[in-house]
A and B are shown apart, each in its own frame.
Chain A
Amino acid sequence: MLYREAGQFKTGYNTDQSIFPIRQDRWAIALFLAVAVVAVPLVIDDYWAKAVLLPLLVYAMATLGLNILVGYCGQISLGTGGFMAVGAFASYKLTTAFPDLNLIIVLLLSGCVTAAVGVLFGLPSLRIKGFYLAVATLAAQFFLVWLFNKVEWFYNYNATGQITMPPREVFGFLITGPEATPAATYLFALGFLIVFGLVAKNIVRGRVGRMWMAIRDMDIAAELIGVRPLMAKLSAFAVSSFYVGVAGGLYFTVWFGAVEVTEAFDINQSFQVLFMVIIGGLGSILGSFLGAAFLVLMPILLKNFMVNWLGVAAVTAKHVEITLLGVLIIFFLIVEPHGFARLWQILKEKLRLWPFPY
Chain B
Amino acid sequence: MMFRKITLAIAVAAIAVPMAAATAPAAELTIPSLAYRTGPYAPNGIPFANGYADYWNLLNERDGGIEGSKIKVVECETAYNTKQGVECYENTKGEGAGALVYQPLSTGITYQLIPKASSDQIPVFSMGYGRTSAANGKVFDWIFNFPATYWDGATTIVQYIAEQEGGMDKLKGKKLALVYHNSAYGKEPIRTLEVMAEKFGYNLLLLPVDHPGQEQKATWLQVRKERPDWVMMWGWGVMNQVAVKEAASIRYPMDRFIGIWWSGSENDVLPAGDAANGYLSAAVHAPGADFGVHKDIMKFLYDKDKGAGERDRVGEVLYNRGLVAAMWTSEAIRTAMKIHGTNEPTAAQVRDGFENLKVDEARLAELGLKGFTYGIEISCENHSGPGKAAIQQWDAKAKQWRIISKYYDRLPEITGPLIEEDSAAYAKENNITPRSCN
A residues touching B (Cβ–Cβ < 8 Å)? 46-47, 50-51, 55, 149, 158-162, 164, 166-167, 177-179, 256-260, 262-264, 266, 300, 304-305, 307-311, 313-315, 317-319, 322
Contacts and interface: CB of A to CB of B under 8 A. Distances in A.
Contact of B17 (A51, A300, A309): A309
Interface of B: 13-14, 17-18, 21, 35, 37-38, 75-77, 79, 81-83, 86-87, 90-91, 93-94, 107-108, 111-112, 115-116, 118-120, 131, 182-184, 187-188, 190-191, 210-211, 422, 425, 429-431
A51 B86 contact: yes
A51 B91 contact: yes
A305 B187 CA distance: 39
B120 to A, nearest CB: 8
Contacts of B81: 263
Contacts of A166: 429-431
A47 B90 contact: yes
A260 B188 CA distance: 13
B82 A260 contact: yes
Contacts of B37: 314-315, 318
Given A158-B425, A310-B13, A310-B14, A50 B115 contact: no
Contacts of A304: 91
A256 B82 contact: yes
Contact of A313 (B75, B116, B210): B75
B18 A314 contact: no
B77 A318 contact: yes
Contact of A314 (B17, B35, B86, B431): B35
A4 to B, nearest CB: 31
A300 B118 CA distance: 25
A161 B184 contact: yes
A263 B184 CA distance: 10
A300 B422 CA distance: 36
Contacts of B425: 158
B77 A314 contact: yes
Given A161-B183, A260-B184, A262-B211, 17 more contacts: A46-B93, A47-B94, A55-B83, A159-B422, A160-B107, A160-B111, A160-B188, A161-B184, A164-B429, A179-B119, A256-B86, A257-B112, A263-B81, A263-B82, A309-B17, A315-B38, A319-B38
Contacts of A311: 17, 21
Interface centre among A50, A300, A308, A313 (most CB of B within 10 A): A50
B183 A262 contact: yes
Contacts of B430: 164, 166-167, 177
Contacts of A260: 82, 108, 111, 183-184
Question: Counting chain B CB atoms within 10 Å of each CB, which of A149, A162, A164, A315 scores highest?
Answer: A315
Contacts of A46: 90, 93, 120
Nearest to A313: B75
Contacts of B115: 164, 177-178, 257-258
A6 B83 CA distance: 48
Contacts of B188: 159-160
B119 A266 contact: no
Contacts of B190: 159
B197 to A, nearest CB: 15
A319 B188 CA distance: 32
A193 B170 CA distance: 62
Contacts of A257: 112, 115-116
Given A260-B108, A300-B87, A178 B116 contact: yes
Contacts of B38: 315, 318-319, 322
A314 B82 contact: no
A305 B21 CA distance: 14
Contacts of A47: 90-91, 94
A308 B91 CA distance: 10
Contacts of A322: 38
Nearest to A149: B182
A357 to B, nearest CB: 22
A266 B422 contact: no
Contact of A256 (B21, B35, B112, B431): B112
B91 to A, nearest CB: 6
Contact of A178 (B17, B87, B91, B119): B119
Contact of A159 (B82, B94, B187): B187
Contact of B191 (A159, A164, A178, A264): A159
Nearest to B132: A159
A280 B203 CA distance: 54
Given A159-B188, A161-B187, A258 B112 contact: yes
A178 B82 contact: no
A314 B75 contact: yes
Contacts of A263: 81-82, 108, 183, 211
Contacts of A310: 13-14, 17
Contacts of B429: 164, 166
Contacts of B35: 314-315
B50 to A, nearest CB: 11
Nearest to A180: B119
Contacts of B87: 50-51, 300
A307 B83 CA distance: 18
A166 B428 CA distance: 10
A264 B184 CA distance: 12
A283 to B, nearest CB: 28
A309 B182 CA distance: 39
Contacts of A159: 187-188, 190-191, 422
Contacts of A315: 35, 37-38, 75, 77
B109 to A, nearest CB: 10
Contacts of A50: 86-87, 90
Contacts of B210: 262
A47 B76 CA distance: 14
10 contacts: A46-B90, A47-B90, A159-B190, A160-B131, A162-B108, A164-B115, A258-B112, A260-B82, A315-B75, A315-B77
